[in-house]
Chain A
Amino acid sequence: MRRLSPRTVTFALLSAMLLVFTSVSHASSPALSIITPRNVQRGVENTITFNGARLADAEEILFYSPGFEVVELTPEAGKATAKVNIAADCRLGEHVAHVRCKSGLTEFRTFWVGPFPAAAEVEPNSSFEAPQKIELNTTVHGVVTNEDVDYYAVELKAGQRISAEIEAMRLGTTLFDPYIAIIDAKRFELSADDDTPLTKQDAVASAVAKEDGTYYVMVRESSYAGNGNCRYNLHVGTFPRPLAVYPAGGKIGDTVDVRFVGDPTGAIAQSVQLPTEPNDQFSLVPQDANGVAPSGNPFMLFEHGNSLETEPNESIAEACAAELPNAFNGIVQAEGDIDCFRFTAKKGQVFDIECFARRIRSPLDPVMNLYDGNGRSLVGNDDSRGPDSYFRYTFPADGEYVLRVTDHLKRGGDTFVYRVEFRPVKAQLSLGIPRVARYSQSRQQIYVPRGGKYATLISASRSNFGGDITIEGNQLPQGVTMHAPNMPANMSTMPVVFEAAADAPIAGGLMTFQGKHVDPATGIQGHFKNRADLVVAAPGQSLYVYKDVEQLAIAVVDELPYSLEIVQPKVPIVQSGEMALKVLIHRKEGFNEAITLQFPFRPPGIGTRSTVVVPAGATEAVYPLNAAGNAQIREWPIYVLGSANVNGTAWVSSQMATLSVAAPYVSFALERAACEQGQETQLYGKITHTTAFEGNAQIQLLGLPNLVTTTNLEFNKETEDFTFNIQTDKTSPAGKHTNVFCRITITENGEPIVFRTAATVLQIDKPLPPPPNAPPKPKPMPVAQAAPKPMPAPMPMAKPLSRLEKLRLAAKQRTEGAVPSGSEEE
């Protein structure tokens, strides 16, 4: 054979790749790595680039929140560029988007919407002497490279406020912990921040200019690190940047008076109309005549109103009055401050008592204690909810109680806001898709090929209740149907299959998933939640930034050149049994790629291989299943999921088939067998019939050691026992062979039901050595040898000697022949 030169091989490969490119018009598994710029201004048209891979057939951007209108989308291989009109009332802060392509859906990524026009960072700006000049109320898009320091200069009039807020870690790109400082012309730091509870590792700074002049904002990584991925949005302007809002929650639909605190110009009072729908991510954006802050302060929406603390309430005796079911609100105002609330509760009331402090981004690390009216301590907690406190409490009697809140380190301050909500104990349900890879959004979206199927597992987490759950999907794209069996009470995952009609339009959207208790009277329901791990870093792969979404992205994608079909088995798989599940691969003309099959849903007790690879061109595969002895008996939905390279990984699933798990039709009791090497023995078994079957069934004896043979047996529904004749060899391994078992094959509906029995023991012993002084071998049939007749020859076979018995026998033999052997040794 002629050896090909490397160049020839490369050329051949290239040609092959070109062929693939020309024959397949699209790419599967599009990916989105980052959306740039990281911040866009609302109220104007922005050009947003969705950077990733395999995006050439991008068709649509899916936004999770309103306010975005894509005017133009230009797809390219590595990116999709969109002109997006952003509504003037678009919510400020973090937003989420996917790119939908004809062939698939990307993962979701975040970007930020801000109120200010953008300016790009221009290096060099690394020294105080040569800063980059920017306008007030600007958002700078910058990068901190290694040991980089960025300076920006703005002009201020005396009395003007300057605020700076940075989005860096929050951008969820990399571990980038920024530090910012506002510096005056004499290099004095007016305000500097590394971390602040409001923005976690990100920083905010705010100061009031004492005189007209140039002021500087400095940005760096807090430990002078940095790299090309350390992007930031730096908002510099005259906007208010209070650190907390008080009270930090209110009744849904009410108008509440709130006070923003922590701004250098003092508190900012506002009256706010609250939304009428619950929203876990609600925040209030501070605003005054000088501008609007680039992000909001978290605000709780609650079913009930507020009770506000009145100082002094430092001790149980001085506790201020509060009323249930209101939420209690307060500020731990100074170092060592203690807040006490006195309230009345009724016997038997059970509440989840939640203190919200760090969860509403307050600096407070609360410690919450409950006392009875006499000051006797009942229950307390520090950190059950991260730094926040929580306990569930059943009030033992009607009467007065006192709730005490303080800081764990006895700190305090104007912004140490907290809120305690008494929530009745409620059943809670949430749905999700189990992760298939760590820190990845892989297969956390649904992409159904036209005329094909795609299945996923849905997981449910139930708290405070149990029971079966129905799963409902809403806003499915046109032409898509969903098959979702009920999730039994003992299960926390179930498969759901989506099927797109051959003529379903290529489209996509965000669907809501809902789970409900099968009994509608319970009113228990919950929705889907999906989390993307955005920044994971040391120590110990800690999750620094994540984003939760409550909708599931689904798309109908181009038809795929293959589909899968499970051949519905006609027999059950029985406990301790096995089954070869046949899968048909329907290939389009010309599609010969190898396909990897998975079996994602495994009913309890059913095991199988993680993957089965269907070789290129093959149209049939067998997925071997096995059932444990305690596999749960019932009918289960099953599916196989396949992936193949269709210029990128393309996923498809089979239909939802049924796997019936049944009890074995017969049960066997095997006895033990033993013999010496080279001898023959028998192994007896008894059969108990539980389910009748037709015809003859086969029994194979398996697990026999080397050079031990027997013949297969057959039995029918009337057979009650059987005997295997086992022939050993002189060289068969001696010892206890503990894994000898029967495999039974019963044929029903033309398909085999295969299962195995529990194992028994075959003991093979070495023949006893002849006594040392015994004659070499008894001579053939001397008359005198007739004496041992009462002991029939097959005895040892019928009752093999135990080790102890053998030792006794040996000892006996020794004593009988002791004199000569002992004297020999002398």
Chain B
Amino acid sequence: MTATKNTLRSLALFALVLMTAVTSAAELVEINVYPQNIDLTNSRDRQRLIVQARYADGITEDVTEQATITNGNAEVLRQDGYLFYPQGNGETMVNVEFQGKALQVAAKVQNFDVTPPVSFTLDVMPIFMKANCNTGSCHGAARGKDGFLLSLYGFNPNGDYNNITRDFSSRRINLAFPEDSLLMTKGAGIVPHTGGTRFRKGDELYETVHEWLRDGAVMDQGEIPTVTKVDIYPKGAVLNGEGAQQKISVRAYYSDGTDRDVTHLAYFSSNNDNSAIIEQDGIVTAQNRGEAFIMARFDTHTVGTHFIVLPKNLEFSWNELPENNYIDTHMHNKFKNLRIIPSELCTDEEFIRRVSLDVTGRLPTVDEYNAFLADTDPKKRDKLVDELLTRKEFVEIWVMKWAELLTIRTTNQISYKSMLLYYTWLQERIANNVPMNVMVQELLGSNGGTFANAATNYYQNETNTLKVAENVAQVFMGMRIQCAQCHNHPFDRWTMDDYYSFAAFFSQIGRKRGEDPREIIVFNSNSGEVRHPVGNRVMAPKFLGGDTPDLTGKDRRQVMANWLASDENPFFAQNLSNMIWAHFFGKGIIQEVDDVRISNPPVNKELLDALATNLTEYNYDFKKLVRDICTSRTYQLSTKTNETNEKDTTNFSHATLRRMRAEVLLDSITQVTTTSNKFPGLPSGARAVQIANGNTSTYFLTTFGRAKRETVCSCEVKMEPNLSQALHMLNGDTVNAKIAQGGLVTTRIGEEVPHAKIIEEIYIRCLTRKPTEKELTNLMELVSQEENKQQALEDVFWALLNSREFVFNH
């Protein structure tokens, strides 16, 4: 097996060498060495260097093997290829040279004469993860595996130590003959092991465990340094064609100020094996064209780096395209890297339909359509966006979206009145353009009666402390931290400590019944703590990914709210921007919008950062961000693809077809048929978008996936088409009845409008375009054949409402 693998690797290396010859045809721009220093702090320490070349066409290449790496002082460092070991205390430089480009790396060795004992926490625990011992499918399962339990991804080293050394005394470890320990023989596959061979006698993982056992299998004493940061190198790569390879290096930083090359201990994974695979030895191999996020997990940290794989020696030329604003700049930068040319601009007809539906949830009227098409102002699209943003329908769309996030609905605990007051509170905030951060601070820090201060309904909607914390993280930071309730998050940075420390902000919510039986008073009870399930420690409140604030004499929630919805919290503005983006593109820059994690990176980080920065600079006035988005060229792209972007589904290089949301679809049908709806609690003629209560629904809305607002999950709104939807449109009581009820055709016939004009109007109403000549001819023929003209024209109407062109925003 190993021999075959080696052969493969040699072949790959051979291919790489061949390829190098080809790539080097493009001009070499720079080389980078990672990491940029060597810092060795004991005799066991070591550091690898990797060298990456970048060419003028954006391609990068791993030239670690080809570069000339020279050791500045053999008395300080011992060199083995690109690996460096300590040789003596002191400082020196390592020189790296490749095709005329040179760099220097500072190296420092301290405590050369110190050989620390093998540490259980620092050395042995990482092996369980690297060797996949403590995953959920193996010994990390809740009940362990085959009688042996390890904490999932090593969240509880003390427990693991106990299980290895104390549980089944003298069975798992044998200190007299360490190599006979079951831990060794099972792991090395010497005795039958359900999990197979995890390491081999003689390799580093085996030897480390062996040495720990030989030294008496002791638990670390005193303060154990913790990992504060993990870095992965290189910081991105663009690989040229299938088979291209890139070495990865991982470095961990500890709380005692030291660092360590943990490439051999980090667990590697790729989020897209179709484009790039990574072996556990840290070598990425390019596969098909695409992008992949290469991740390394060490300790509780997951870090990633972005890889692009291009077809080998792809011919590509970028024609400068106009950039309406920063959004286009960031998009185009990415397109250049990906060798994608975005689609053309959409037509005016498409634009007015798209932007009207997205901004106001309404189709353009015939007058609006005519006026816009007749307008010759080159800035007319911007003008239209500005005009639409002033409409109250714009506010209503966002009230609806926020109502979903805040799960505004009646429950056994929340009366209709409470719910309505909560909805009105939200509506007033959004209508008055209250900055989003102020609104969220007001919401999360709210105290008082659910009638008197309706924002407090947020804490009545969900009364479980942990769930409240999870919801806040998911809605306002886009993070699903649920996993960390039971174990450190496997694909993200969140540990159980983070989870319970964050939940501690919500442990002092007092609730008491108000004088009105329907009202609950939410207050700061000043007492109540959250305890960590491992060890029952009281957890001090700590911002998620932030500091531990001073809370003396303060309302924990208010302190948390002030941090959460502020510039200090990097996730807030980013999450809001992403949510807003997702509304206009059908998917987020991070998708799902409420699943932000390291292993789910943004498709265009620079763009997301820029949106977030701008939102902050706009003082969280999201309307301005909406303007940026709608006026960008990217938003105005056609759905028609070209050769370069036809397979792109993630990078927004062309517009995508999006089915209208349930509410918008019903409102649109109602609008084009000139009918009205009656929803409980709303006057006749009100729109589905305006329904305050998540529990109020109709068959139509339910079928088309209106959110019931039972959870904060963005997945509650169902956008997937299904058979019942199609059948309901065809046979249900909505479309047909509304055509008849509205009587548009009857009215127009009564006004003696020519049939062709009626068809044209129906086309503009439904599809925001005039019929093509062919369509018109065909339809006119149909109408002329039918004796009952009204029936025939209504059939046309019906057919258009049932067309995909109507149901989708395109």
Contacts and interface: CB of A to CB of B under 8 A. Distances in A.
A790 interface: no
Nearest to B522: A409
Interface stretch (B46-54, B224-232, B414-422): B414-422
Nearest to B416: A223
Interface in B432-449: 447-448
A537 B421 CA distance: 19
Contact of A225 (B412, B451, B516, B681): B681
A225 B416 contact: yes
Contacts of B682: 147, 224
B100 interface: no
A201 interface: yes
Contacts of B683: 147
B512 interface: yes
A539 B518 CA distance: 7
Interface in B397-418: 412-413, 415-417
> What's the interface size class on A, roughly?
20 to 34
B517 interface: yes
Contacts of A383: 512
B751 interface: no
Given A223-B681, A224-B681, A539-B412, A177 B515 contact: no
Given A225-B681, A409-B523, A538 B415 contact: yes
A542 B517 contact: yes
Contacts of A539: 412-413, 415, 517-518
Interface string B671-688: 000000000011100000
Nearest to A177: B417
A409 B521 contact: yes
Contacts of B681: 147, 223-225
A177 B420 CA distance: 13
A544 B517 CA distance: 7
Contacts of A223: 416-417, 420-421, 681
A358 B515 contact: yes
A195 B512 contact: no
A194 interface: yes
A164 B645 CA distance: 67
Contacts of A387: 514-515
A365 B416 CA distance: 25
B416 A201 contact: no
Interface in A544-564: 544
Contacts of B420: 222-224
A808 to B, nearest CB: 44
A722 B69 CA distance: 117
B527 to A, nearest CB: 13
Contacts of A778: none
A617 B472 CA distance: 73
Contact of B417 (A200, A222, A386): A222
A365 B421 CA distance: 22
Interface string B433-473: 00000000000000110010000000000000000000000
A672 interface: no
Interface in B116-151: none
Interface in A182-233: 194-195, 197, 200-201, 222-225
Interface string B509-539: 0001011111001010000000000000000
Contact of A195 (B412, B416, B516): B516
A200 B516 contact: yes
Contacts of A197: 515
Contacts of B451: 194-195
Interface in B142-168: none
A496 B521 CA distance: 45
Q: Mostly helix, strand, loop or mixed at chain B's interface? A: loop
A540 B518 CA distance: 10
Contacts of B413: 539
A408 interface: yes
B415 A201 contact: no
A543 B516 CA distance: 10
Contacts of B521: 365, 408-409
Interface residues of B, number: 21
A410 to B, nearest CB: 9
Contacts of A365: 521
Nearest to A538: B415
Contacts of A201: 516
Central interface residue in A222, A223, A365, by most chain B CB within 10 Å: A223
A152 B451 CA distance: 26
Contacts of A408: 521, 523
Contact of A409 (B421, B448, B516, B518): B448
A200 B515 contact: yes
A222 B514 CA distance: 17
Interface string B572-612: 00000000000000000000000000000000000000000
Contacts of B512: 383
Contacts of B523: 408-409
A336 to B, nearest CB: 13
Nearest to A540: B517
Interface string A771-785: 000000000000000
A543 B523 CA distance: 24
Contacts of B516: 195, 200-201, 544
Interface in A370-393: 383, 386-387
A200 to B, nearest CB: 7
B551 to A, nearest CB: 17
B415 A409 contact: no
B460 to A, nearest CB: 12
Contacts of A195: 451, 516
B147 to A, nearest CB: 40
A157 to B, nearest CB: 33
A130 to B, nearest CB: 16
Interface in B650-704: 681-683
B446 to A, nearest CB: 11
B137 to A, nearest CB: 46
A85 B333 CA distance: 89
Given A194-B451, A223-B416, A225-B416, A386 B515 contact: yes
Contacts of A538: 415, 518
A222 B413 CA distance: 18
A71 B682 CA distance: 47
A538 B410 CA distance: 12
A409 B450 CA distance: 13
Interface in B491-522: 512, 514-518, 521
A539 B417 CA distance: 12
B417 A409 contact: no
Interface string A544-588: 100000000000000000000000000000000000000000000
B774 to A, nearest CB: 49
Contacts of B518: 538-539, 542
Nearest to B514: A387
B630 to A, nearest CB: 32
A587 B683 CA distance: 62
Contacts of B421: 223
B654 to A, nearest CB: 45
A527 B515 CA distance: 28
A537 to B, nearest CB: 8
Central interface residue in A383, A409, A544, by most chain B CB within 10 Å: A409
Nearest to B519: A195
A201 B515 CA distance: 10
Interface of B: 412-413, 415-417, 420-421, 447-448, 451, 512, 514-518, 521, 523, 681-683
12 contacts: A147-B681, A147-B683, A197-B515, A200-B515, A201-B516, A408-B521, A409-B447, A409-B523, A538-B415, A539-B412, A540-B517, A544-B517
Given A223-B421, A539-B518, 11 more contacts: A177-B417, A194-B451, A223-B416, A223-B417, A358-B515, A365-B521, A383-B512, A538-B415, A539-B415, A540-B517, A542-B518
Interface of A: 147, 177, 194-195, 197, 200-201, 222-225, 358, 365, 383, 386-387, 408-409, 537-540, 542-544
